[in-house]
Amino acid sequence: MRDFSGDHSALALNTATLGHNLDGFGAGWSPEQVIDGCAARGYGGVVFWRREIGSNATAIGQRAKAAGLKVAGLCRSPFLVGPLAPNGREAVLDDVRSSIDMTAALEAPILTIVVGGVEPGTKGMSESLKIVADRVAAACEFAERAGVRLALEPLNPVYGGDRSCLVTVRDAVNLCEVIAADNLGIAVDVYHVWWDTDLANQLQRAGAGRIYGFHLCDWLADTKDVLLDRGMMGDGVADIRGIRGAVEAAGYEGLCEVEIFSKDNWWKREPGEVLDVLVDRFRSVC
């Protein structure tokens, strides 16, 4: 392993970057191996996906803490609306409650919410966003009781049809204002917002109190697959330093979480190598 003795304590790993060991990609590191690998390299935190945790949330959370890592959050809620959501409001909220409970058991502060796409039978974003507002408001109540905060993550507009009718920081801040819950904020991901020339203004609107997460990767100029061809920081065209600057100028002081879905490149590499490259790129281009 390379020597990364300087400070990169703001760096967190989202485990998707290693290829989701349950998906047949990546080298299949367990959560325990991920914790050890990140701790050994001086990472500040780690973010898991629900599928990796199973019924071991408490033990995994404690192990991370003992290793000196923050569990910065959990990915993610079910889709709340749209063609890929559980069938009906109660089924959605039941699964939201499960994900909130898992977040609490991990002792993670944040559950990421990906809201889902356009509700079948409707057109455009507005009807779906109304349904989202209702369901997020209910989720905020459960989360409040569990001591968990919810981070609305707007996705790139390319996912507007099936994965997220929430596609801008502007709309996410609007939702926060409408719902007005003390435990509701936003997550800002370079992949989803890099194109938005109004981003800095919207982050100022959000303010420090509402920015709960900041996710790093890069947008490759010739992206081959909008789901699974994200770039390593520095390999694409996003102004990562500018975006980080805008996020921090708005008052964000949390971790920088690397989340790279990369089926044909990074997911094929040895996890330890990927963790080394992340540290290197975090220090050189972020």
Q: Which residues bind a copy of itself (CB under 8 A)?
A: 82-83, 117-118, 122-126, 129, 156-158, 160-162, 167-168, 170-171, 194-198, 219-223, 226, 236-243
Whichever of 47 and 125 has its CB closer to a copy of itself, that residue is: 125
- Using alpha carbons, select from 160, 166, 244 the residue that is nearest to residue 203: 244
Whichever of 83 and 209 has its CB closer to a copy of itself, that residue is: 83
- Using alpha carbons, select from 134, 29, 26, 151 the residue that is nearest to residue 99: 151
CB of 170: closest distance to a copy of itself in angstroms? 7
Q: Which two structure tokens, joined as six digits, stand for 279?
A: 């540290």
Whichever of 108 and 114 has its CB closer to a copy of itself, that residue is: 114
Whichever of 149 and 192 has its CB closer to a copy of itself, that residue is: 192
Q: Which two structure tokens, joined as six digits, stand for 250?
A: 């708005």
CB of 236: closest distance to a copy of itself in angstroms? 7
Contact (Cβ atoms closer than 8 angstroms) between residue 216 and residue 282: yes
Whichever of 52 and 196 has its CB closer to a copy of itself, that residue is: 196
CB of 239: closest distance to a copy of itself in angstroms? 3
Q: What's the CA gap between 277 and 275, in Å, rounded?
A: 6
CB of 286: closest distance to a copy of itself in angstroms? 12
Residue whose entry in the numeric block shows the structure tokens 């939702």: 175
Whichever of 13 and 172 has its CB closer to a copy of itself, that residue is: 172
CB of 84: closest distance to a copy of itself in angstroms? 9
CB of 166: closest distance to a copy of itself in angstroms? 10
Query: Residue 182, class by beta-carbon neighbours within 10 Å (0-12 exposed, 13-18 middle, 19+ buried)?
Result: exposed
Q: Which residues partner with 12 through β-bridges?
A: 45, 257
